[in-house]
Structure 1
Amino acid sequence: MTATDNRPRLIYLHGFKSSPGSEKVGELRETLERLQVPVELVVPSLGFEPERALTRACEPVEAVLGQRPCGLIGSSLGGYYATVVSARYGVPAALVNPAAYPYRLLRDYLGEQTNLHTGETFTVTEAHMQQLTDMDPGDHPDPSQLLVLLQTGDETLDYREAWRRFQGSPHWLQAGGDHRFQNFARTIPSVLAFLWPESRSGGIFQG
């Protein structure tokens, strides 16, 4: 008989043209191991087609919803998906340099693209922009469930768009940096404390 896994589930959603093999995922995994944080890290491969990506983002949440704690970290386009999932299921999410309105931004990427990690080529279409538009939840039903981490030096996204869209949510705004989010590993303990506040008093996390 397999023992029941009661650890909180942490789901990381990667960005556009990224993958579960990204450097940020490696930093997250290494930090969790170094601090001996008792969480189950799940990093789904989202692919590029938005509807399928959202399904893959929802599946690990649905599998544990109501059974054990669950939280999200989403980077760039993954931050948009995390927003949708959070609004749909009522789970907390940390958004790292999130794409506030990807259906506007990604129009500049219509046509053939290449995944920076896997080398896979794919084609971005107007139909994909419509899928992203259709899944937009609008105003989050509970903005306090979102933590928005922004760096003003983001060379890909205008941080002010996310600042305005998520103005009702707690923010962590840093001067400088870049789209990748410099010193991401240093933010992880604070992100975990946001996702699971009981950890602040030595509850589910120690160290």
Structure 2
Amino acid sequence: MSTSHLLYLHGFRSSPQSAKARQMAERMAADHPGVTWWCPQLPPSPAEAAALIDQGTKTWPSENMAIVGSSLGGFYATWLAQQRACRAVVLNPAVDPARDLTAYIGELRAWHNPAEQFFFRREYIDELRQLESGVIRHPERIYALIAKGDELLDWREMFSRYAACRIQLLEGGDHALSDFHLHLGQVLEFLRLQSA
């Protein structure tokens, strides 16, 4: 089955303006213009983010949709892939954001627009717990790109969580996957995108 609908989910404090999201958008426009592409700005509330994702993809055919998610977006992508049994690529995915993001409760600035501030509320931690999706039921449908040099998340934890899935483990690298352009071809190949 080829992918006709592709969702990209950015990470915590990030946006559709991230380098990876822009690279994906450019490749989609150039090489796969017939594929429905959606990269929404996710709200800080995980419950609201999940509702937005669910609402925006509810008419998408599960057998022809795929997701790419980075960091917290990888956590959301795993949650949605578990629900829809679709293909997903996770990029340095957050494994336990409810634990990790407790340290960020309070007022924060967006990465790509420092003038934009938002408040990460304590109740969002419980919302994240509600989205934990347990053992991966279709590991053959998930591809994890993990950098050992990730300065924010433990690569061993990511590796363990996605051990049954297809994994590309990078020596070095960083959380942002600054060399994402080098791996984009393999990501697109796994997604089996509908050709133009």
TM-score when normalising by structure 2? 0.91
Deviation string 1:140-165 (CA, Å, 9 cap, x unpaired) is 22111111001111111111111111
Report what 1:123 is aligned to: 119
Shift of 1:172: 0.5
For structure 2, list consecutive stretches of 5 or more residues without a partner in the other structure: none
Task: Pick one of 66, 69, 86 that aligns with 2:64.
Answer: 69
**Identity of aligned pairs, percent?**
31
Shift of 1:36: 5.0
Q: Is the 8 A contact 2:91 2:146 kept in 1?
A: yes
Q: In structure 2, do the counterparts of structure 1 residues 84 and 185 end up closer, same or farther at CA, with 3 Å as the change threshold? A: same
Report what 1:100 is aligned to: 95
Q: Is the 8 A contact 1:152 1:176 kept in 2?
A: yes
Report what 1:16 is aligned to: 12
Shift of 1:108: 1.4
The equivalences for 1:1-207 within 5 A come to 8-35=4-31, 38-65=34-61, 69-118=64-113, 119-196=115-192, 204-205=194-195
Cα RMSD (Å): 2.0
- My pick for the range that moved more, 92-101 or 35-44, is 35-44
Aligned mates of 1:36, 1:11 — CA distance in 2: 13
Q: Could you tell me which amino acid in structure 1 is paired with residue 182 of structure 2?
A: R
TM-score when normalising by structure 1? 0.86
Shift of 1:7: 7.1
- My pick for the range that moved more, 110-119 or 46-55, is 110-119
Deviation string 1:59-89 (CA, Å, 9 cap, x unpaired) is 33212125x7110000000000000000011
Q: Is the 8 A contact 1:151 1:173 kept in 2?
A: yes
| CA radius of gyration, larger in | 1
Shift of 1:34: 4.2
Shift of 1:192: 2.2
Aligned mates of 1:21, 1:51 — CA distance in 2: 22
Shift of 1:38: 4.0
Aligned mates of 1:185, 1:57 — CA distance in 2: 26
Q: Is the 8 A contact 2:3 2:65 kept in 1?
A: no
Aligned length: 194
Secondary structure of the residue aligned to 1:112 is strand
Deviation string 1:3-51 (CA, Å, 9 cap, x unpaired) is xxx9711110000001112222111122334445642221011111100
Deviation string 1:84-127 (CA, Å, 9 cap, x unpaired) is 00001111100001101101110111111111123322222221
Q: In structure 2, do the counterparts of structure 1 residues 121 and 141 end up closer, same or farther at CA, with 3 Å as the change threshold? A: same
Deviating above 4 A after TM superposition, structure 1's stretches of 4 or more consecutive aligned residues are none
Aligned mates of 2:16, 2:29 — CA distance in 1: 17
Aligned mates of 1:45, 1:99 — CA distance in 2: 18
Q: Is the 8 A contact 2:31 2:195 kept in 1?
A: no
Q: Could you tell me which amino acid in structure 2 is paired with residue 92 of structure 1?
A: R
Q: Is the 8 A contact 1:148 1:171 kept in 2?
A: yes
Aligned mates of 1:195, 1:38 — CA distance in 2: 14
Aligned mates of 1:47, 1:116 — CA distance in 2: 14
